[in-house]
Structure 1
Amino acid sequence: MFDIVKAWYQNKFSDPHSVTLLLMLIASVAMLYFFGPFVVPVLIALVIAYLLDWPVSRLQKFIPNRTLATTLVILLFVGLCLAMLLGIVPVLWQQTSNLLQESPHMIEQGKAFLLHLPEKYPTLISAEQVKVLVSSVEAKVIELGQVLVSISLTSLKDAVAWLIYLILVPLLVFFMLKDKVILTRGIEAMIPKERRLITQVWSEMDHQIMNYIRGKVLEIGVVGSVSFVAFSILDLRYSALLGALVGLSVLIPFVGAALVTIPVAAVAMFQFGVEAQFWTVVIVYGVIQALDGNVLVPLLFSEAVDLNPVYIIVAVLFFGGLWGFWGVFFAIPLASLVKALVNAWSTQRVDDHSEVEKGTL
């Protein structure tokens, strides 16, 4: 057993470039694991900087001064965020408030629907089973209410921190974009010279992460907007809130769509009952999800969809449990990073064999 481990170690990490890559990986994971909460503003700024780097680079073709181009893009981005904050957030807040006020009535209506099921389908379900189901649902609703209250109290304590983030994050984004070349050179100066594999992995991931962030934001906007328009045409209540939820659900691959199905179906059932309009809403929602998964996602993430769905789900569960929201958001790039690391070490082994063969010749 020891010989197998020794042979594997010599095969993978006999080269200084491989050791440097491994040490950088361990240091990065340890920093995120132990100091993750403290670097949240930096992560947010990094995501926004990746998102805005493309328009800054395009604007530089017309305005060579990068500082001026960065300033204009930042001002435009902040303006769009303020417009969304003033135009969309009040509507979502109002619809959320109305939904919470009507939720007890919706729960009672759903409870009455379940209690009548044994009368309609006595061979499929019994009254005792319905009572157990209703009790478990009520317990979950009470538990969810307690969680929401605790989250709201925690949010009040963190309000000052978020106000500080609103000032720090735009400043970080501005300097990350303006001084991109200087910052990159500084990072290169801190990395050991034996960094060929690090460069290989970074060159493979840099373009992919940028495309992923830009594509994910575009996917949220397209899916959310289409859902809002479809729900509005179908005269479904809380269409703006449900459209926003459907849009944000794409952050969690596969799982998000299943979770958002519950509020969409619940609101439709409460409004229309189990009638033709209810099934129309469900079918339209299913079509939107199908188009998103089979058309939009392959179009926006052509490199990422090479990953098997099993790997993506495992990445969501693992990185989400490790780093919460950001782990879920970056689950696909992180899974791609693991794939790139495996490819780099495999390439290293092939290169070593090639060099040995050349030496023998």
Structure 2
Amino acid sequence: MQEPIAFRFSPWKNPANLKLILPLIVGLLLTFFLSIFSTFFFIALLMLLFTSVLRPFVVHLEKRGFNTIGAIILIYTLFLLVIALLFLLIAPQISDQLREMTRLANQLKVNSGQHALEKFISFFAAKLDFLGSPVLQQRLAAQYFAVFVRFLQGAVSFSTTILLSPLHVALLGIAVFFLLKDGAQLQKQIISALPNRFLEFSTIALDNIVNTLAHYFRNHFIILVTCTVVYSSAFYWLNLPYYILLGFLAGFACTIPYFGSIIGASPALLVGLYTFKHGAVLFVLIGVFAAVHFVNMLILKQLHETTSHNIPPLYTLVILLAGYTIWGFWGLFFAMPLAICFVTILKQLMWGIQNFHF
């Protein structure tokens, strides 16, 4: 009788095993720190977004003869004036819509709005035999209703924190100003702090990382603004309540590859279903999202290709689920930009390992 083979896993005796274990450890630590310092990472991403948008204007003025400080102050002043003008025009409406949306979320929790979903599911039950059971219909309605309410509450929290948090806005404004002013100097200091044998690699890698992320965030911003305006206009035309907030959420969701339309449509579908008390509104809103998505992909196809960053749909779904698990509604919007930042840095590190001998 043969004795069982004794198997002992000793990763420290075989350095090749560390290549498998190290990414797992880094991933666990990264998840832990992301869950604790989520606000910091979100502000950092918004800082990179606005810096990437404003940097080309500063460079253009520098080429026209302005000094760096003067160009930054001029562009920053114009940018703040535009933001202040928009704030004065739409802030009262946003405040009213946030209060009404919060009230709606509370009403949905207290007075179950499930009956509207039950009517909608019963419409399909007449067509599909497996939905004929009333118990199954009620159970599906309860599950979908819980998901919709969570989405709506997350939308309120997300909009309040992003749009109406003075502390976050102040920190973001200061950070963007100093990153525009000292970004190039900071990059040089990082390179000079490294040993000389890393000089060539760090110079090339940092330039590639900065340029790639700047290009990504600029495209991100163009898609966000364009889709927000289009969706807000469409919701206003449909007489949908909270059209600014719902348009902002739908526009923000357009920057999410592959699944953005589904995520952005969920709060709008819930609000429309509860407001109009008729299942037909879902088909109208789904048609609006499908039409906007088709036109959006047709016109901004190249920009959307850069936002996916060649990450496959399956990996994108895993990243979104991980972001939603850690941060809730916030994670759906910020998981992909964070992942793309890490992927960009990792690609440069792997390129350096393959092409340089340290």
- TM-score normalised by length of structure 1: 0.71
How far is the alpha carbon of 1:136 from its aligned partner? Answer: 3.9
**1:174-213 equivalences in 2 (<5 Å):** 174-195=177-198, 196-213=200-217
Contact 1:208 1:333 in 2 (8 A): no
How far is the alpha carbon of 1:226 from its aligned partner? Answer: 1.3
Letter in 1 for 2:182: D
Larger Rg: 1
Any idea what SS the aligned residue of 1:306 has? coil
- The equivalent residue for 2:138 is 131
How far is the alpha carbon of 1:163 from its aligned partner? Answer: 4.2
Contact 2:223 2:251 in 1 (8 A): yes
**CA displacement, residues 63-109 of structure 1 (integer Å, 9 cap, x when unaligned):** 42111111011111222222222222332332343345456479255
Any idea what SS the aligned residue of 2:66 has? coil
Does 2:345 align with 1:341? Answer: no
Does 2:119 align with 1:113? Answer: yes
Contact 1:51 1:213 in 2 (8 A): yes
- The equivalent residue for 2:244 is 240
Any idea what SS the aligned residue of 2:197 has? coil
Letter in 2 for 1:216: H
- The equivalent residue for 1:58 is 60
- The equivalent residue for 1:273 is 278
Q: Describe the shift of the 1:315–1:241 C-alpha distance in structure 2 as closer, same or farther (beyond 3 A).
A: closer
How far is the alpha carbon of 1:207 from its aligned partner? Answer: 0.9
- The equivalent residue for 2:310 is 306
Q: Describe the shift of the 1:335–1:120 C-alpha distance in structure 2 as closer, same or farther (beyond 3 A).
A: same
- The equivalent residue for 2:6 is none
Distance 1:90 1:257 in 2: 28
**CA displacement, residues 19-56 of structure 1 (integer Å, 9 cap, x when unaligned):** xxx9xx99x96996598468555554444323321111
- The equivalent residue for 1:357 is none
- TM-score normalised by length of structure 2: 0.71
Q: Describe the shift of the 1:321–1:335 C-alpha distance in structure 2 as closer, same or farther (beyond 3 A).
A: farther
- The equivalent residue for 2:4 is none
How far is the alpha carbon of 1:219 from its aligned partner? Answer: 0.6
Does 2:329 align with 1:329? Answer: no
Any idea what SS the aligned residue of 1:88 has? helix
How many residues matched?
A: 328
Distance 2:40 2:147 in 1: 34
Contact 1:246 1:260 in 2 (8 A): yes
How far is the alpha carbon of 1:181 from its aligned partner? Answer: 3.6
Any idea what SS the aligned residue of 2:139 has? helix
Distance 1:268 1:53 in 2: 40
Distance 2:152 2:303 in 1: 39
Q: Which runs of 5+ in 2 are unaligned?
A: 1-9
**1:1-361 equivalences in 2 (<5 Å):** 5-6=14-15, 36=37, 39-40=40-41, 44-101=46-103, 104=108, 107=113, 109-111=115-117, 113=119, 117=123, 120=126, 123=129, 124-137=131-144, 163-195=166-198, 196-269=200-273, 270-271=275-276, 273-275=278-280, 279-293=283-297, 295-299=299-303, 301-302=305-306, 305-317=309-321, 324=331, 326-348=334-356
Distance 1:321 1:118 in 2: 31
- The equivalent residue for 2:5 is none
How far is the alpha carbon of 1:209 from its aligned partner? Answer: 0.5
Distance 2:51 2:255 in 1: 19
Contact 1:311 1:335 in 2 (8 A): no
How far is the alpha carbon of 1:8 from its aligned partner? Answer: 8.9
How far is the alpha carbon of 1:3 from its aligned partner? Answer: 11
Moved more, 45-54 or 323-332: 323-332
Moved more, 258-267 or 131-140: 131-140
Distance 1:239 1:166 in 2: 23
Any idea what SS the aligned residue of 2:113 has? helix
Aligned sequence identity (%):
20
**CA displacement, residues 259-278 of structure 1 (integer Å, 9 cap, x when unaligned):** 22223333444527344x65
CA RMSD, Structure 1 to Structure 2 (Å): 4.4
How far is the alpha carbon of 1:117 from its aligned partner? Answer: 5.0
